[in-house]
A and B are shown apart, each in its own frame.
Chain A
Amino acid sequence: MKSSVIVFPGSNCDRDVAVALKKFKIKNQMVWHEETNLPKSDLVVLPGGFSYGDYLRTGCIASKSRIINDVIQHAKKGGLVLGICNGFQILIETGLLPGVLLRNKKLRFLAKNVFLKVITINSKFCLNFNKKNIIQLPIAHNEGNYFANNKILNRLEDKNLISFKYCDEQGQISKDANPNGSSNNIAGILNDQKNILGMMPHPERLIDPLLSGEDGAMLFESLVKSN
Chain B
Amino acid sequence: MTITPDIIKKHGINPDEYKKIVSLISKEPNLLELGIFSAMWNEHCSYKSSKKYLKTLPTKNKKVIQGPGENAGVVDIEDDDALIFKIESHNHPSFIEPYQGAATGVGGILRDIFTMGARPIATLNSIHFGSHKHIKTKNLLNGVVSGIGDYGNCMGIPTVGGEVKFNESYNENILVNAMAVGVVKKNKIFYSKAKGKNQPVIYVGSKTGRDGIHGASMASAEFDENSEEKKPTIQVGDPFTEKLLLEACLELMQDDSIISIQDMGAAGLTSSSVEMASKGNLGIEIYLDKIPCREEKMTPYEMMLSESQERMLLVLKSGKEENAKKIFNKWDLDFSIIGKTTNTKNLVLNFHSEEVANLPLSSLSVNAPVYDRKWKKSVVPKKSVSKKDFKSLNIIDCLKKILMSPNNSEKSWVWEQYDHTVMGDTIQKPGGDSAVVRIHGKKKGVAITVDSSTHYCLADPTNGAIQVVCEAWRNLISVGSSPIAITNCLNFGNPEKDKIMGQFVETINGISEACTYLDFPVVSGNVSFYNETKNKAISPTPTIGGVGLIRDLNLMTTKSIKEIGSSLFIIGKTSGHLYQSEFFREVMQIHDGPSPKTNLFNEKNNGLAVQKLILKKLVNSVHDISSGGILIALSEMCISGKIGAKIKIPHNKINIHEYLFSEDQSRYIIEIKEENKKKVSNILKENSIYFENIGNTQKDNLDIGADLSIKIFELNKLNSFWFKNYFDKN
Contact = CB atoms under 8 A, between A and B. Distances in A.
A109 B146 CA distance: 8
A108 B146 contact: yes
Contacts of A10: 154, 240, 243-244
Contacts of B420: 111
Interface string A35-55: 000000000000011101111
Contacts of A50: 153-154, 156, 239-240, 243
A204 interface: yes
B423 A15 contact: yes
Interface string A52-90: 111100000000000000000000000000000000000
Interface stretch (B195-203, B256-264, B296-304, B411-419): B411-419
Contacts of B705: none
B714 interface: no
A112 B424 contact: no
A204 B239 CA distance: 23
A145 to B, nearest CB: 16
* Interface-centre pick from B419, B420, B553, B728 (highest chain A CB count, 10 A): B419
Nearest to B149: A109
B332 interface: yes
Interface string B656-695: 0000000000000000000000000000000000000000
A184 interface: no
A55 B421 CA distance: 23
B139 to A, nearest CB: 15
B150 A109 contact: yes
B438 A210 contact: yes
A106 interface: yes
Contact of B417 (A9, A54, A111, A207): A111
Contacts of A109: 146, 149-150, 153, 417-419
A140 B419 contact: yes
A53 B332 contact: no
A205 B421 contact: yes
B723 interface: no
B422 interface: yes
Contacts of A110: 416-417
A124 to B, nearest CB: 23
Given A16-B424, A109-B419, A9 B154 contact: no
A53 B238 contact: yes
Contacts of A207: 424
B426 interface: yes
Contacts of B241: 53
Contacts of B244: 9-10
B550 to A, nearest CB: 11
B427 interface: yes
B331 interface: yes
B243 A13 contact: no
Interface string B154-181: 1110000000000000000000000000
Interface in B349-399: none
Contacts of B415: 111
Nearest to B556: A210
A204 B415 CA distance: 21
A147 B241 CA distance: 30
A50 B239 CA distance: 10
B444 to A, nearest CB: 12
A204 B156 CA distance: 14
B424 A12 contact: no
A138 interface: yes
Given A10-B154, A12-B156, A108-B146, A211 B417 contact: no
Nearest to A207: B424
Interface residues of A, number: 31
Interface string A106-147: 101111100000000000000000000000001010100000
B434 to A, nearest CB: 16
A150 to B, nearest CB: 29
Contacts of A53: 154, 238-241
A198 B240 CA distance: 23
A112 B412 CA distance: 9
Interface in B545-588: 553-554
Nearest to A209: B554
Interface string B399-433: 00000000000001001111111111011000000
Contacts of B331: 9
Contact of B424 (A106, A108, A205): A205
Contacts of B150: 109
Given A50-B243, A53-B154, A210 B427 contact: yes
A202 interface: yes
Interface string A180-212: 000000000000000000000010110110110
Given A205-B422, A205-B424, A108 B154 contact: no
Contacts of B243: 9-10, 12, 50
Nearest to A51: B240
Contacts of B554: 210
Contact of B416 (A16, A55, A111): A111
A106 B238 contact: no
B153 A140 contact: yes
A19 B424 contact: yes
Given A109-B146, A138-B421, A202-B421, A52 B240 contact: yes
B107 to A, nearest CB: 14
A110 B419 CA distance: 8
A194 to B, nearest CB: 27
A106 B724 CA distance: 12
Contacts of A15: 423
Given A13-B422, A106-B728, A111-B416, A211 B240 contact: no
Contacts of B418: 109, 111
A202 B156 CA distance: 13
Contacts of B240: 9-10, 50, 52-55
B332 A12 contact: no
Nearest to A47: B156
A13 B332 CA distance: 20
Contacts of B416: 110-112
A15 B423 CA distance: 7
Contacts of A202: 421
Contacts of B153: 50, 109, 111, 140, 142
Contact of B422 (A12, A19, A55, A112): A12
Contacts of A210: 427, 438, 553-554
Contacts of B154: 10, 12, 50, 53-54
Contacts of B417: 108-111
Contacts of B553: 210
A147 to B, nearest CB: 22
Given A9-B332, A53-B154, A108-B417, A16 B422 contact: yes
B438 A111 contact: no
29 contacts: A9-B243, A9-B331, A10-B240, A10-B244, A12-B422, A13-B156, A13-B422, A16-B423, A16-B424, A50-B243, A53-B154, A53-B238, A53-B239, A53-B241, A54-B154, A106-B728, A110-B416, A111-B415, A111-B416, A111-B417, A138-B421, A140-B153, A140-B422, A204-B424, A205-B421, A210-B438, A210-B553, A211-B424, A211-B426
Given A111-B419, A111-B421, 10 more contacts: A9-B331, A9-B332, A12-B155, A16-B423, A50-B239, A110-B417, A140-B421, A205-B421, A207-B424, A210-B427
